[in-house]
Amino acid sequence: MALTQPIGEAALLGSIARLLLVLAVINLVVALLVNPWREHRASDRFPAIAQDVSIIGLFTVVATLLMRDQLLTTSAVGAVIVGFALQDTLGNFFAGLAIQTEKPFRVGQWIAVGDKEGQVAEITWRATKLRTEAGQFLIVPNSIIAKDPILNYSEPSIPTRIEVVVGVGYQHPPNQVKAALSEALTHAPLVLTTPPPDILVHDFGDFAVVYKMRFWIGDYETHEPARNQVRSAIWYTFQRANIEIPYPIAVEIGREDRPMRPPEAIASAAARLAHLDLFATLSPDQRLALAEACPEKIYQDNQVVVRQGAAGSSMFVVVSGAARVVLEPSGQEVASIEAGGFFGEMSMLTGEPRTATVRARHDMTALEISADRFRALALERPGLVEHVSTVVAARRIGLDEARAAAEAASVTPATVRKTLLERIQRFLHLP
């Protein structure tokens, strides 16, 4: 009787030793098959969790064969107990195994699972951790992800297409609205030019024609800033083009129609013109008429007003805000134009391409004076062209001296004025 117990213990220790040896051999075999130092590595579909499951599965099979008698007595009851106790845990485990093996998404990608959306931060055997747009972590059990549809914003390609919808009054022709929306997209830096965006008439609503803008961005993480840029650009562009975004109206309510430009705004623009040497010879009534006839346009911060090298036939008077003059392609800022200043006069007078890029600083409002409007004013006011050419010639001499003093030394104001006067008369078809 005394020998039976040691023999039984020795047999048990021998079985345990064999199991440990089997476990070591299985680990070695799996490591040799998928180890990272082989020239041809295992497939990306064989992650660490799949390796662990393979080791556990093989070890369970071998342990059952080696210790069949010991395991059979408790396997049935144990399986039932473990199955009920670990139902949710096993569900998450196998769902995590499927996710890491099939890889419907990867760490760093933006996904939507049901009504949950975020950037994948970590994938474990139990849950997937998402970083929301607000910066918080959302822990989603893998069993839920396995049941719900998954929308991966980062595959199959990195550029992502998003949409912005806007309503416009029925009085505006669709082609005019689409042109304004296309211009607005050019003022949103996050919008990609390739693939090109498209603009659709989406619906005829109760109080507006609904337009849908579909455009591409480089990373879904920037979809809210991109929409913000586009919506802001739409507002400013519509203001310049006099396109109305109508108020939602459930019942008919009369409201007083106000002019697009109230009288005080016109008077303020005329006051700006009075301080410019260009229009010093005009009467107050003529300056007021010019301010009323010329459109007043608003630009958002850093928006391009005129582009260097582009054709132009108008000048701008800064009514409020400021502008900065930039040389392309270096982007060097060479001048700042405050309220009451002007730019673009050479294009208005001679039709020359723009010599520099001008961007708005903060919100800027500017009065745009076209070449046709100036021509009508010049025919009405004899001597205006001579006066303007003198002012512009003096200004251009100053700019030339600032850019190249040596070259400007050989140029006299009289020769510049004469040449400039001839070019203005030729471009505006003046006698």
Whether residue 138 is predicted with pLDDT greater than 80 in this model: the reply is yes
Q: What is the pLDDT of residues 353-363, one digit of tens each?
A: 998 999 999 88
**DSSP bridge partners of 200:** 212
Topology alike, domains 160-241 and 263-428: no
Of 101 and 8, the one with more pLDDT: 101
- Residue 312 phi/psi, 5° resolution? -155, 150
Q: What are the sequence ranges of the domains in the chain?
A: 13-85, 104-152, 160-241, 263-428
Q: What is the pLDDT of residues 25-53, one digit of tens each?
A: 766 666 666 665 554 554 454 555 555 66
Question: Which residues, 6 or more positions from 30, have their beta carbon under 8 angstroms from its beta carbon?
Answer: 51, 54, 55, 58
Residue 289, Cβ density class (10 Å: 0-12 exposed, 13-18 middle, ≥19 buried): middle
The predicted pLDDT at position 156 comes to 73
The predicted pLDDT at position 243 comes to 94
Of 90 and 140, the one with more pLDDT: 140
CATH number belonging to the domain at 104-152, selected among 3.40.190.10, 2.30.30.60, 3.40.1010.10, 1.25.40.10? 2.30.30.60
Q: Report how far residue 80's alpha carbon sits from residue 11's, in angstroms, rounded to the nearest whole number.
A: 29
Tokens, residue 189: 């830096």
Q: What is the pLDDT of residues 282-314, one digit of tens each?
A: 889 989 999 999 999 999 999 999 999 999 999
The predicted pLDDT at position 76 comes to 47
The predicted pLDDT at position 77 comes to 44
Highest mean pLDDT among 24-33, 153-162, 309-318, 376-385: 309-318
- Is the model's pTM score more than 0.95? no
Tokens, residue 308: 């260097």
Whether residue 54 is predicted with pLDDT greater than 50 in this model: the reply is yes
Q: Report how far residue 115's alpha carbon sits from residue 148's, in angstroms, rounded to the nearest whole number.
A: 10
The predicted pLDDT at position 95 comes to 64
**Which CATH code for domain 160-241?**
3.30.70.100
Helices 68-85 and 87-102, packing angle to 10 deg: 90
Is residue 237 very low, low, confident or very high in pLDDT (cuts 50, 70, 90)?
very high
Whether residue 210 is predicted with pLDDT greater than 90 in this model: the reply is yes
CA nearest neighbour of 317 among 353, 268, 263: 268
3-state secondary structure of 309: coil
Do the beta carbons of residue 67 and residue 13 sit within 8 Å?
no
Give the range among 233-247, 358-372, 395-409 with minimum mean pLDDT. Answer: 395-409
Is residue 80 very low, low, confident or very high in pLDDT (cuts 50, 70, 90)?
very low
Is residue 406 very low, low, confident or very high in pLDDT (cuts 50, 70, 90)?
very low
Highest mean pLDDT among 225-239, 350-364, 385-399: 225-239
Do the beta carbons of residue 421 and residue 387 sit within 8 Å?
no
**Which CATH code for domain 263-428?**
2.60.120.10
Question: Which residues, 6 or more positions from 5, have their beta carbon under 8 angstroms from its beta carbon?
Answer: none
Is residue 73 very low, low, confident or very high in pLDDT (cuts 50, 70, 90)?
very low
Q: Report how far residue 14's alpha carbon sits from residue 331's, in angstroms, rounded to the nearest whole number.
A: 80
Is residue 172 very low, low, confident or very high in pLDDT (cuts 50, 70, 90)?
very high
Is residue 250 very low, low, confident or very high in pLDDT (cuts 50, 70, 90)?
low
Whether residue 366 is predicted with pLDDT greater than 70 in this model: the reply is yes
Question: Which residues, 6 or more positions from 397, have their beta carbon under 8 angstroms from its beta carbon?
Answer: 408, 411, 413, 416
DSSP alpha helix (H) spans, 86-128: 87-102
Tokens, residue 296: 């007043």
